[in-house]
Amino acid sequence: MPKGTFGLLIRWSSVQIAHAPPYTIRVSKKGSPFLCKGEDKNDSKKDKVVEMHYTLKNDVGDVLDSSKGQAPMPFLQGHGNIIPGLEKAVEGMKAGESCDVSVEPAEAYGDLHSEAIQEIPKEALQGIDNLVVGMELQSQDEQGNSLIVRVTAINKDSVTIDANHPLAGQTLSFSVSIESVRDATKEELEHGHIHAHGGSCSH
């Protein structure tokens, strides 16, 4: 699970649901409505590198994350670098445009899954120092895929872990502004994500 300011936007490694529920988009530019979609070569469409400022709020209006005061978040459009509902909303936007987006759970981090919450013997976590509620641990599912789980309760002989994303089941509200759009490099397209400052990366 990527850490840092933009971690909330990145796909979580738990169950992802591929439905396409409705999401609403309210857009404005200098006080006037405009269409998010466009045909200009500098639109934020697939295979474009987009830099975006954003503020993320939950369904009760609490600010969960923001890029304010920091560099805008870069991502490769159309390659699943950010959650599906947000990626669809910014498709076709141009630099200088802004947009308010409400994304339903199935297009964000999915619904809450009760089977993703388990109580395990504390001895199964022997060797982990300073175990506390809220700690994130790396685990594996039955297919051997890596998962991030959170410790949600610690009892005398057991520990409760939760593989749901912390924002699972929540409708998320984004206020975004597109700062720049450029063509992706060949290497970025091959790797499916951007390279900072045009550099290379390892996998």
Domain ranges (residues) in the chain: 7-110+170-195, 114-162
For 75, 126, 164, the CA distances from 50, given in Å and listed in that order, are 6, 44, 28
Q: What pTM was computed for the model?
A: 0.69
The DSSP code for 78 is: T
103-137 tens-digit pLDDT: 999 999 999 999 999 999 999 988 888 899 999 99
62-104 tens-digit pLDDT: 999 999 999 999 999 999 999 999 999 999 999 999 999 999 9
Does domain 114-162 correspond to CATH entry 3.40.50.150?
A: no
163-198 tens-digit pLDDT: 999 999 999 999 999 999 999 999 999 999 987 644
Spatial distance between the Cα atoms of 111 and 179, rounded to a whole number of angstroms: 31
Average pLDDT for the chain: 80
Percentage of residues of the chain with pLDDT beyond 90:
64
Q: What does the pLDDT read at residue 12? A: 37
Rounded to 10 degrees, what is the CA torsion of 111, 116, 118, 120? -150
Q: Are 99 and 93 in contact (CB under 8 A)?
A: yes
CATH, domain range 7-110+170-195: 3.10.50.40
